Amino acid sequence: MIVVDTTVLADWLINGPELRDRVIKLQQLDPEWLCLDLATYEFGNVANTLRRAGRISDSAIELAWQSIELSDIQFVRDRDLWEISKLAKSKEISYYDASHVWLAIHHQTVLYSRDRKLQNKCPETVCEMPK
């Protein structure tokens, strides 16, 4: 079991074939994914931003939401708000990023993300996507 963040969801569903291939490799390594439920809102924000920029269509967004609904990703709401706050402060990362890191720590696993800054700040928890 691994934790994935919004960068992984976006790469899987809307960011193009090169990044999608990396997510497929990740699925082959470990198909059991956890993700915070708030990532769906962040994903929606990314999708809407790309739509406004003319980079994806409404039908692509609809297909992405259908794929998320049909996926085996376990979206969880389980969190400790104060522990996440302390983690954000100690690692000097955003609360949002800390929430994903906390989820990985809480489940004694790793977080996969394309966010290099987060990988550098939390190398013991955050892994780079497979190439």
**pLDDT, tens digit, 9 for 90 and up, residues 74-117:** 999 989 999 999 999 999 999 999 999 999 999 999 999 999 99
Long-range contacts of 16-24 (CB under 8 A, 24+ apart): 19/114, 22/129, 22/130, 22/131, 23/129
List the structure tokens of 62: 């609809």
**Average pLDDT in the 32-40 region?**
95
Q: Which pair of structure tokens corresponds to residue 65? A: 């939401």
Q: Is 17 helix (H, G, I), strand (E, B) or coil?
A: helix
Give the model's pLDDT for residue 19. 94
Superfamily of domain 2-127: 5'-nuclease (3.40.50.1010)
Distance in angstroms (rounded) separating the CA atoms of residues 106 and 98: 12
pLDDT at 78: 85
Domain boundaries defined on the chain? 2-127
pLDDT tens, residue by residue, 57-66: 999 999 999 9
